[in-house]
Structure 1
């Protein structure tokens, strides 16, 4: 009767060996996965020129990076019209991101209730699609860096557009002039502002100088009056698009690039990589951008074409397509709430 005992002992030993091997394989897989994440972070750092002050900061940023990566993977495994990716904001928490890369301040008081003429009110027909880049009315994507002056980039992009349409010349204008010199009203440089106030400044200052003459520094500075006096483009005024009407916004964008304010503080906006953005977002307006067109995606989704100021590595080469004609009167992310454009 010794044979069954020997057989049982042999089977137990085989199972033990298999269990140990499986445990060892699982441990190795976890280590490999962790190493892959570390290597992924190192490649991402090299791609975006990231460097940290010490090992502790690098470890903290790695943990944020890893968490964001997992959130991105989970999102992209779902059924969405857009996708997220490991862009240069991947080592920032969402709170950090919102604190350093937005900066729009909604209108308040009398400014919020002032009604102005809307020159496109009686427009009855617009093109099925529009892309002001194709018309030569949009300069290359710029980068505001860690300065909350999105309002300046939005106003400048709209001014560059109307200048091209009025004169036939596309000139890159100075955001830094607005950051340094437009400080006596509601605009406060890197601490935030709004596009209408920027348009007011451009009118009163009789124009803006070029980017080349007054280059961007991504920081508040002292106004250089000599440089600011060398205006390269001017506007006669500005008009607000009727609030909460995407149809009115469509009429305006069909005729020129338009400054718009949006709620861009969410994780999905931070990590947007491509596709037609459909949310989630609210109407807590915190970011100024520029609507430079509109169209219809291959799946039939209508969209706004938006020029951002977070560099060309973000989104679709610095742009985002945002869903158009949504059920909410404010538009997706509040895009129809505070739109305006300069006049030649």
Structure 2
């Protein structure tokens, strides 16, 4: 049976209208995304060298926003957000000095573990060293691969507060500039244990205000006096979240993680769960633990990527998982200074 011309014409008109509506919606969506990218650029002070670079970065930004929105539409215990890394592909993010600052230890000399005989059943159910005044405000390492220094300093700030009653922001830049005669190499990476060794040998660290952070490798400045010191450091037994819990219940602890996954790149809040790498590349500090309202146990951690990342700069990761290495490898190489 032949289709009446009027019906055929009506179908064609309908198809054309639908196509036009979809095209208009796509243009509108693109315009909205362009405007969103412009606002993001203004927020983070991002400037591109030319229009071609801007167009390329816009494409990356758009793809990352789509990933974030798709992830957040799923059933997860945590969520992602558009942050300062939104115009970087995950490969680019993994290669940045922001993320590549921790150099995994090839040989760890055995140390004592003062919390070995602590009865885990007697530990508090929740710990948050921020509430005890042992955690300084979130800092931002910028484009310098010295997370190792921020992690070591945060752990040291904690033990100094617990031993002296004084919380003072100490100098990461002194480590970046002066701890360069061993494995630690400023913005090119380092290890928290090596930082602790330097601090002991150096007789301590000066304050942040006396030797401010520059996010770059500079010549070591002579400091007349150190504000705070430590006596030693100890490694937490590897791949043992129970041992890590004993340590964190008593003081902030430096930990290394694999911070390269997209979920880590764009983490915004909640308890990070699920699959995660264990190629340690980023140093942070464990400042507590607890249990979410849904019963998920978590570690509370302080990062050094500013307050626009994570929960105002902090992070919660699932605790006591089946993998002994811990979420993103956090139980593989923890350590802490002693006073």
* TM-score normalised according to structure 2 size: 0.96
Q: Which residue number corresponds to residue 209 of structure 1?
A: 206
Q: Which residue number corresponds to residue 86 of structure 2?
A: 90
Q: Which residue number corresponds to residue 107 of structure 1?
A: 105
Contact 1:268 1:280 in 2 (8 A): no
Q: Which runs of 5+ in 1 are unaligned?
A: none
- Which structure is larger by alpha-carbon Rg, 1 or 2? 1
Q: How many Å apart are 1:278 and its aligned residue?
A: 1.1
Kindly report which structure 2 residues correspond to 1:48-127, keeping only aligned pairs within 5 A, or say none: 48-100=44-96, 101-102=98-99, 103-109=101-107, 112=108, 114-124=109-119, 125-127=122-124
Q: Which residue number corresponds to residue 156 of structure 2?
A: 159
Q: Which among 298, 311, 323 is matched to residue 316 of structure 1?
A: 311
Q: Which residue number corresponds to residue 268 of structure 2?
A: 273
Q: Which among 179, 187, 193 is matched to residue 190 of structure 2?
A: 193
SS class of match (1:321): strand
Provide the C-alpha distance between the structure 2 equivalents of 1:9 and 1:126, rounded to a whole number of angstroms. Answer: 82
SS class of match (1:259): strand
- After superposition, what is the alpha-carbon deviation per residue over 1:1-42, rounded to whole angstroms, capped at 9, x for unaligned? xxxx9x934333333332222221111111111112111111
Contact 1:263 1:285 in 2 (8 A): yes
Provide the C-alpha distance between the structure 1 equivalents of 2:27 and 2:334, rounded to a whole number of angstroms. Answer: 51
Provide the C-alpha distance between the structure 1 equivalents of 2:148 and 2:274, rounded to a whole number of angstroms. Answer: 22
* TM-score normalised according to structure 1 size: 0.94
In the alignment of these two chains, the number of paired residues is 334
Provide the C-alpha distance between the structure 1 equivalents of 2:220 and 2:274, rounded to a whole number of angstroms. Answer: 39
Q: Which runs of 5+ in 2 are unaligned?
A: none
SS class of match (1:18): helix
Q: Which among 16, 21, 36 is matched to residue 12 of structure 2?
A: 16
- After superposition, what is the alpha-carbon deviation per residue over 1:120-171, rounded to whole angstroms, capped at 9, x for unaligned? 1111121000000000000000000011100000000000000000111100
Provide the C-alpha distance between the structure 2 equivalents of 1:20 and 1:105, rounded to a whole number of angstroms. Answer: 59
- After superposition, what is the alpha-carbon deviation per residue over 1:39-80, rounded to whole angstroms, capped at 9, x for unaligned? 111121122222212211111110111111111122112211
Kindly report which structure 2 residues correspond to 1:185-334, keeping only aligned pairs within 5 A, or say none: 185-225=182-222, 227=223, 229-334=224-329
RMSD of equivalent CA atoms:
1.4
Runs of 4+ in 1 over 6 A off after TM superposition: none
Provide the C-alpha distance between the structure 1 equivalents of 2:20 and 2:288, rounded to a whole number of angstroms. Answer: 56
Q: Which residue number corresponds to residue 179 of structure 1?
A: 176
SS class of match (1:239): strand
Provide the C-alpha distance between the structure 2 equivalents of 1:206 and 1:174, rounded to a whole number of angstroms. Answer: 14
SS class of match (1:202): helix
Which moved further from structure 2: 130-139 or 34-43?
A: 34-43
Q: How many Å apart are 1:339 and its aligned residue?
A: 0.4
